[in-house]
Amino acid sequence: MSSDPFPEHLDALKLFARNGSVTATLPLSKLHRFAASLLDTEGAVAVDLHFGHDEEQRPRLSGSLHTEVRVNCQRCMEALPLKLDCELALLVLESEAAVKALQGEDAALDALVMDPEQGLDVLAVIEDELLLSLPLVPLHAAADCSAVLNAYQREHAVQESVVHPFAVLATLKRTGDPR
C-alpha cells in the first residue's frame, strides 16, 4: 500500500467546506474499540473518504474501507481470517432529531450527527462502520473448521468401533450351545 498515513487530526468541518478527500492507511492498532474484537492488530485499513454534499447541499460522507483482520472462529476458537469491505454513504446532520426525522422519511438513508462546532470524530465513524461489518458469529466454512473436522473424525471412529452383529453371533457359536 503506497497511500499516506492517516492524519492525526482531521478537521471534518474544513474537509466538508472544500469537498475534500482523505486517502490513507490506518493501522488497526489505532482503532482500540475495533481491535478489541480482533485476534491481533496486525495490518491496516485502507481508508478512502469523500467529504461531499448531496443534491440538497447536506454534507455527506462517502467512500470505502478495506482491511483484512483475524478473529476467533466461534466453533473451533481458532484464527479465522476475514476480508472486510465497507462502502459508506452517510448524511451528516446537526442533531439526533434531524436524523430521526430523516429516517422517518426514508429508512434506507444512513445518517450521523455532527456537532456544528466540534466537527466529527472521523476515527469513531470508521470504527463503527468496521464493527458493523463484522459477522455477528464468525465461523470458518465447514471444510476449513477444525471443530467440524474433529466431529467428523469422532463420528467415524465410533462407527469403526461398533462391533458387527454377525461377529457377536460368531462369538456365541464358538463359546458353545448352552444345551
Contact predicate 61/49, CB 8 Å: yes
Rounded to the nearest 5 percent, the helix, strand and coil shares of the chain are 35, 30, 35
**What does the alpha-carbon distance between residue 26 and residue 29 come to, in Å, rounded to a whole number?**
8
Shortest distance, CB of residue 78 to Zn ion, whole angstroms?
6
Binding mask 74-113 for Zn ion (x = CB under 5 A): -xx-------------------------------------
| Contact partners, residue 31, CB within 8 Å, separation at least 6 | 41, 45, 123, 126, 127, 130
Assess 145 for contact with Zn ion (CB under 5 A): yes
Shortest distance, CB of residue 156 to Zn ion, whole angstroms?
19
Assess 60 for contact with Zn ion (CB under 5 A): no
Which region, judged by CB under 5 A, interacts with Zn ion, from 2-10, 42-50, 114-122, 136-144?
136-144
| CB closer to Zn ion, 110 vs 144 | 144
DSSP, res 114: -
Which spans of this chain sit near Zn ion (rule: CB under 5 A)?
73, 75-76, 140, 145
